[in-house]
Amino acid sequence: MRYKIVLHAPEEGYSVSCPGLPGCWSQGATEAEALENIRVAIREYLTAVGELLQDTPNTEVREVDIAM
């Protein structure tokens, strides 16, 4: 699965967010560290959303493919 991310390099370290997953962001001292941290954040975000949806009545979680 691929997600677009936004990498920002301010004065110190890097911040990174995933616009497709509101509130999903991370940071790192180096670009490589920030990229690894956002991978972890995305996995944890998707796991949390999946767990929340499992407890919602009359809700089904599905996946769809899109062509770009």
Residue at 67 is within a domain: no
Average pLDDT along the chain, 68 residues, taken 10 residues at a time: 91 94 96 96 92 82 79
Cα–Cα distance, 27 to 37 (Å, whole number): 7
Give the global pTM: 0.81
Q: How many domains are contained in the chain?
A: 1
Contact 14, 36 (CB under 8 A): no
- Give me the domain span that covers residue 42: 6-54
Give the per-residue pLDDT at 10. Answer: 82
Cα–Cα distance, 59 to 51 (Å, whole number): 12
Give the per-residue pLDDT at 7. Answer: 97
The 3-state DSSP class for residue 12 equals coil
6 is written with which tokens? 């936004």
Give the per-residue pLDDT at 16. Answer: 97
Give the per-residue pLDDT at 17. Answer: 97
Residue at 43 is within a domain: yes
Residue at 66 is within a domain: no
Residue at 64 is within a domain: no
Residue at 50 is within a domain: yes
